[in-house]
Every structure is written in C-alpha cells, then in structure tokens.
Amino acid sequence: MNIITNTSTRFWLWLLVLLFSALPVWCRRSQSPVSVQTTHSRSGKDGQSLSNNGNNNLLAQSLFFGGASRSLAQAVLYPVDAMRTLAQTRDGRTLADLGTKTLTKGCLTTSSFALFQGAVQFGIFGACRGHVGPVIASALGAAGSCIVSVPQEVIKQRLVTGVYSSFRNAVKTIYQNEGILGFYSSWKPTMTRNVPFVIITFTTQDLLKRKRLKNKTISQEDGGVEQKQQQLSFGENIAIGVSSALLAGVVTNPVDVVKTRMMTQAASNAVPYSSA
C-alpha cells in the first residue's frame, strides 16, 4: 500500500505539521515583556540607558527564542514534512521510489536555516509589535523571513524529491545554473502562503482565547464563585493553537501545493510550469 497516498495517513501527517508549525507562535506569545523600572533618584540619562538595555534584552530574547523554536520544530518534524512534500509533487513520488533515507536528507543543514528564519521573523515582530500591533507585526515578520525561508524551502524540497544528492551539490548546482535568483524561485507563492497563514493563525487564536475566557467567566458567575482573573490551562492553549493552525492550513493549503510543485518540478517528467 502506498503510505503517502493513503487518505488517513496524509491527514494525520498534515495535522502533525500544523501542530509543530504552531510551536513558534506559542513560544512567541508566552514571552513576557521585559519591565524596566526607574526611580526618581535616577537622572534622565540613567533612565534612558536602562530603557535601552531593556529593549535590547527583549529583542535578543525574540531573536533567540524565535530562532530556536523554529529550528527545533522543523528538525523534529522533518520526516513528516518530507512525506508531505512527496505527496504534493506532480508525479506522486513515494518512499518506495526514493528510499527511507529521503526522510532525513538535508535535515541538519536545512534546519539550521530555520534558526535564522525564526530569528528574522520574531526579531521583526518584536521590533514592530509596539508600533503597528501584533497582527500586522506578524505579517511583516512572515514576509521579511522569506529572505531566508525561500532558499531553505527550495533546497529542502529538491533534496527530498531527489533532484540533488546532497546539500552541497544543491547549493553548487543551483548557483551555477540559475544564479542567486535560483534560490528564490517560487518566492511569490511562498510569501502568499506564509503571510496569510500567520495572520489567520493569530486572529483565530485571539478570537478563540477571548471566547474561552468569556465562557469560563460566565460559568464562574453562574456558580456563585468569587470572580477572579481567568487563565487558560496548558491543554486549552494547545487545543486553541492547533485549531488556529489547522484553519490556517486549510485556507492556505492550495497555495502550498502550488509552491511545492513549482519548487520541485525538476523532479517531474511533466511539462514544466511557466509561472505560479
């Protein structure tokens, strides 16, 4: 039986991808802002210095935790994502065609890109959040991170589909044949997928959180319990995060298929697409 074309298997693989895709968002939302307090005895210059240090610490945290969470999520889920890539190719390649080694082919090298991708994305988010709000800041972060994520996706998906034998061979061949722009093939569908995915995930997550907190407050009032500030449990946060990513994945999946087929069409015998 073809384990990739099996409908049930593909559904669970997709769900796992969405689960780990939400991990960087959870890490970002869980970061508490750095508070910088100054006393009246300090001069304005000292207070300004402390404020700048606090902002620098917050930016450093965003870069570190964003990059680390993105890299960890991709490395852990790499085999599942590889099977998703195979399922989206034009000729429906399987593990029987390429062997099980393709599930980890290029995992360490391409996951290192995710470290920089996450750092760029969450760095932009942290710098812009206070000026334009979390939703627009997330969209800007997703768009800016495409500078790193598009070359990563091109190399990763071509390694998985067997276009190139190794990371070094992929980089060398793409540069020789296509130049720098070759690493940014299909950047339009990639950005078209990434930005809406982040916006939908954020807005849905915020809506579900507000709804759940409101229901918990109403239940507490009906039960005659003294009202206090409500908080979501770890399980509720997980459920809301996965639900938000699931909706975003359903909406953006058609564009994701276009992106994958544009990036991996060299592995197919079909007539190449001229554009997205």
Give the pLDDT score at 224.
54
> The pTM is what?
0.67
pLDDT digits (tens, 9 = 90+) for 169-218: 999 999 998 899 889 988 889 888 988 998 898 888 888 888 888 877 76
- Give the pLDDT mean for 85-100: 77
pLDDT digits (tens, 9 = 90+) for 209-247: 888 888 777 665 555 555 555 677 888 888 888 888 889
Measured CA to CA, the distance from residue 146 to residue 150 in angstroms comes to: 5
Q: Which residue type does 35 have?
A: S
Decide which of 19 and 139 is more confident: 139
* Closest-CA residue to 134 (of 242, 33, 247, 246): 33
Measured CA to CA, the distance from residue 32 to residue 261 in angstroms comes to: 40
